[in-house]
Amino acid sequence: MPLSPQFLTVTPEARPHVALVQLNRPKELNALHYNLMLEIAQALEELCANPAVRVIVLTGSERVFAAGADIKFMSERTAVEMLEIDQISLWERIRKTHKPLVAAVSGFALGGGCELSMVCDMVVASETAQFGQPEIRLGIMPGGGGTQRLTRAVGKARAMEMVLTGQPISAQEAADYGLVNRVAPVGQYLEEAYRLAAAIARMSPVAARLAKEAVNRSFETHLDEGLNFERKNFYLTFASEDQKEGMAAFLEKRLPEFKGR
Ligand code: DAK
């Protein structure tokens, strides 16, 4: 059943083959309440099932990508209640999005907001973006991947400083550290994200899916097993019509027309 989300705007064809998912809970600075996370997970799953969509852009507003998990909601919860709410399974559903996911981040990306950008495959930031893990200032610590994905992205020393002081970093620092792909002026970051998404949408969706899986596998396993996985996905691309089309187009000196088959 198509969903009608309350805190999201979903545009399946914001650009040809590129969908836009926009967080829209402005009064609370897109605080990631359970229902918002559920809507994001459902929207991404719907877009993954829609063959017209090849790449998804996830964004907030110019002021805020997301200011983290909902502090008002969490302030009254016990450990067991937090456990039972089982946010992890929603984060896992988002992580399993098999289509390329580009975050377009402006303003605050804090706590769960920073973690949500890191679940995406690439990040385009506006010059005003701030990335941080301020949980320690609330007497807690990151719970959505902040100690793991951030450390892999920026290295131990920088991750420790961000996680232990709660001090955010600027868009430019995030780009210098490898957390962000590119930085654009605030009026252009979304267009820049669309440009990146469109470049990927021109490729074979089959190859993109298999390649994304293989890159992600490098974070989960040792080199031998990762290379083995890569090789199998490489061979699998030869089962697609897109592989025939891509190679034929090269030899015929024309642009390929990939169909996702
Ligand atoms: N939750 C709820 N409300 C929030 C919020 C948040 N995270 N952030 C802001 N708001 C609300 C404010 O309370 C305020 O509401 P009213 O007072 O108007 O009713 C409104 O949004 C506007 O905020 P401010 O007045 O504070 O606006 P400023 O421009 O002065 O400051 C700010 C913006 C983003 C710097 C500031 O609001 C701020 O520091 N916000 C909190 C940032 C933060 O600490 N984030 C980390 C939260 S903990 C897990 C997965 C993930 C997580 C945990 C577990 N599992 C899977 C297990 C994640 C945890 C977190 O993210």
Q: 159 with 233, same domain?
A: no
Q: 105 with 218, same domain?
A: no
Domain count, the chain: 2
Residue 9: pLDDT over 70: yes
CB-ligand 1 contact for 72 (6 Å cutoff): yes
Look at residue 1 and tell me if it is in a domain: no
Look at residue 46 and tell me if it is in a domain: yes
Q: How far is it, in rounded angstroms, from Cα 58 to Cα 115? A: 13
Q: 179 with 215, same domain?
A: no
Q: 232 with 124, same domain?
A: no
212: CATH: 1.10.12
Q: How far is it, in rounded angstroms, from Cα 82 to Cα 48? A: 29
pLDDT, mean of residues 19-47:
96
Q: How far is it, in rounded angstroms, from Cα 78 to Cα 12? A: 38
Q: What is the pLDDT of residues 161-203, one digit of tens each?
A: 999 999 999 999 999 999 999 999 999 999 999 999 999 999 9
Q: Considering the entire predicted model, what is its pTM?
A: 0.96
pLDDT the model gives residue 3: 62
Closest CA to 239 of 206, 215, 213: 206
Residue pair 179/171 in contact by the 8 Å Cβ criterion:
no
Check the CA dihedral 129-120-95-218 and report its sign: negative
Question: How much of the chain, in percent, has pLDDT values that exceed 70?
Answer: 99
Look at residue 43 and tell me if it is in a domain: yes
Amino acid occupying residue 83: L
Ligand 1 atom 51, closest CA: 144
Q: How far is it, in rounded angstroms, from Cα 5 to Cα 139? A: 32
> Relative to the CA of 29, which ligand 1 atom is closest?
21
Q: What is the pLDDT of residues 212-240, one digit of tens each?
A: 999 999 998 999 999 999 999 999 999 99
Look at residue 261 and tell me if it is in a domain: no
Q: 90 with 167, same domain?
A: yes
CB-ligand 1 contact for 108 (6 Å cutoff): yes
Q: 149 with 235, same domain?
A: no
Q: 102 with 19, same domain?
A: yes
Residue of 39, 46, 135, 192 with catalytic role: 135
* The pairing of beta strand 130-132 with beta strand 169-170: antiparallel
Confidence of residue 125 (pLDDT cuts 50, 70, 90): very high
Q: 32 with 151, same domain?
A: yes
pLDDT, mean of residues 58-72:
97
Confidence of residue 4 (pLDDT cuts 50, 70, 90): confident
pLDDT, mean of residues 25-35:
95
Residue of 68, 107, 112, 113 with catalytic role: 112
Q: How far is it, in rounded angstroms, from Cα 32 to Cα 215? A: 27
Q: 76 with 162, same domain?
A: yes
Ligand 1 atom 45, closest CA: 68
pLDDT the model gives residue 2: 55
Per DSSP, the three-state class of 208 is helix
Query: Catalytic: 46?
Result: no
Look at residue 195 and tell me if it is in a domain: yes
Look at residue 260 and tell me if it is in a domain: no
User: Could you tell me the residue range of the domain that residue 223 belongs to?
Assistant: 205-251
